[in-house]
Amino acid sequence: MLTAGSSFRNIKGEFGELSTGFPGVLSPCLPGFERPGFCARILSVPRIKTAAPAKLNLHLRVGDRRPDGFHDIESLFLALDFGDTVLVETVAGDATEVRMDWRLPEGAGLPPEKNIVTRAVSLFRGRTGYGGGLRVTVEKRIPLGGGLGGGSSDAAATLLALNRLARPGGLLDPGILAEMGAELGSDVPFFVGVVAAGLAAAWVSGRGDLVSPVALPGGFRDLSLLLVCPGFHSDTAAAFRALDGHRLATPPGARTPGRGVSPDKIPGFLAGRPGDWPFSNDFLPVFAGRGEFYGDWLAYERIISCLKTLGADFAGLSGSGSTCFGVFSRKNMAKSAKKLLSKRWPYIFEAFACTGDDVVLE
């Protein structure tokens, strides 16, 4: 636990480091903390640099469209030791500056003022009354539109960093941060709640806001996870519209049946051989029958087929695309596959399941 008066120190993780030092400052009372004679004393941290890990959907089933416009999902999320880095610094003044430092050739994206990170800062300020100038720098490594949760992870890392900037050990309860995260995006509660607790996997349901941690069995982190991004973005909203259209045109009895994947069975599946996993992704059969996605589907089919041919015990699609992945129990085969696939596809990353040291700030 970090305490006031500590000298500066660096805590290094997979993606970056946390630099800490705590000069005390008196803050205005925060919403939800007011009571007569009480005012929170907040200790500020000059800068926090932390990981924003990518995630894979090892399994993804999508329910029908809900009245609120969202879809219920049932998904097994896995956080990776590959991802972005978020640096939050206190600066003079009271403005917020967001910088996107692209580490990939495709560097275009939303302007900072429309970025989910900017929204995360505004939400935190509005909820807590946290003032003062901030500079947020995001080193982007996660491909855009790749189904890896990059924006959601950046937003979660920003909320967690701000929470510790406001007070060592955290100003708000993790549950409150997760609720705030759900206002920003469906995947954000996973990164806030589970990854911040030093875990890597969770069964995620509802619209993405119901998160149940899953303990990984021994040896799981020895599995090599090869990520293959074909170089195009997947539009999540368009993918869900295609799914809805596909289901309207498909008789209920002809839909792909469930394969017996439920949260109580997940630990047993993960303890077994990846080649025996019954996991699937509801978007793949949708893309196969939709003209606007047919080219994407052909790319996914080729990549998944190549991964299996090159030794992957299991291969699939993450989220609504566009990143495919292979799970290798033999690391030498993963490295060989990476070398061969990199000749054809632009973005190939080898990763492993996250460990607590990768993401925990304290």
Q: Of 345, 70, 123, 358, which Cα lies nearest the Cα of 228?
A: 345
Token pair listed for 248? 């309207």
CB 239 within 8 A of CB 339: no
Instruction: State the CB neighbour count (10 A cutoff) for residue 345.
Output: 16
**Cis (ω within 30 of 0) for the bond into 322?**
yes
Residues whose CB is less than 8 angstroms from the CB of residue 34 and which lie 6 or more positions away in sequence, other chains included: none
Please give the positions annotated as active site: 55, 187
Residues whose CB is less than 8 angstroms from the CB of residue 225 and which lie 6 or more positions away in sequence, other chains included: 56, 78, 80, 325, 326, 327, 328, 350, 351, 352, 353
43-to-22, 23, 125, 197, 200 alpha-carbon distances in Å: 6, 6, 16, 22, 30
Bridge partners (DSSP) listed for residue 56: 78
Cα(125)–Cα(132) distance, integer angstroms: 10
Indicate the burial class of 72 (C-beta count within 10 angstroms; 0-12, 13-18, 19 or more).
middle
Torsion (CA) 155, 159, 160, 165 in degrees, nearest 10: 130
Residues shown for the chain = 362
CB 170 within 8 A of CB 43: no
CB 79 within 8 A of CB 359: yes
Bridge partners (DSSP) listed for residue 353: 80
Could you tell me where the DSSP H helices lie in the chain? 116-128, 150-166, 174-184, 188-193, 236-248, 266-271, 283-288, 291-309, 331-341, 356-359
